[in-house]
Amino acid sequence: MSDQHVDTTPVWVENSATVAPVILGAAAGLLVGDMMHSNARRGVGISLGILGVLALLPVVVDGVAGLITGPKSKFGVNRKIQKIRDIGIGSPSSDDVDEVLREQGVI
């Protein structure tokens, strides 16, 4: 049996789940738009715009961080090489292994 998770969700389901809040917001805006005074509408529009930008900020920061420290960047390559080097630090030397094998009578 495979240990990897296979996502069987169709792409259109994810896309519709992403677009649904936008469509609902536009519908609410059309319904409520005429009921509000123009100054109140402007304030609500600006505050919702700021909220939308703040909601996208984590995605933008994650994307920029991936470009800077990703596996294909200079920093990502250096980090990967350092991890490979650090793995060898904790391994026992061949002298220690030989000594243990001699004590057990293998060598």
Read off the pTM: 0.46
- State phi, psi for 90 to the nearest 5 degrees: -85, -5
pLDDT tens-place string over residues 53-93: 888 888 888 888 888 878 788 888 888 888 888 776 665 55
Task: Look up residue 97 and give its two tokens.
Answer: 């292994």
Task: State the Cα angle at 2 between 8 and 18, rounded to 5°.
Answer: 25
Q: H/E element holding 27? A: helix 11-33
Q: What is the pLDDT of residues 11-42, one digit of tens each?
A: 666 677 777 888 888 888 877 887 888 788 88
DSSP character string of 82-104: HHHHHHTTTSPPHHHHHHHHHHH
- Tokens 């090489």 sit on residue: 81
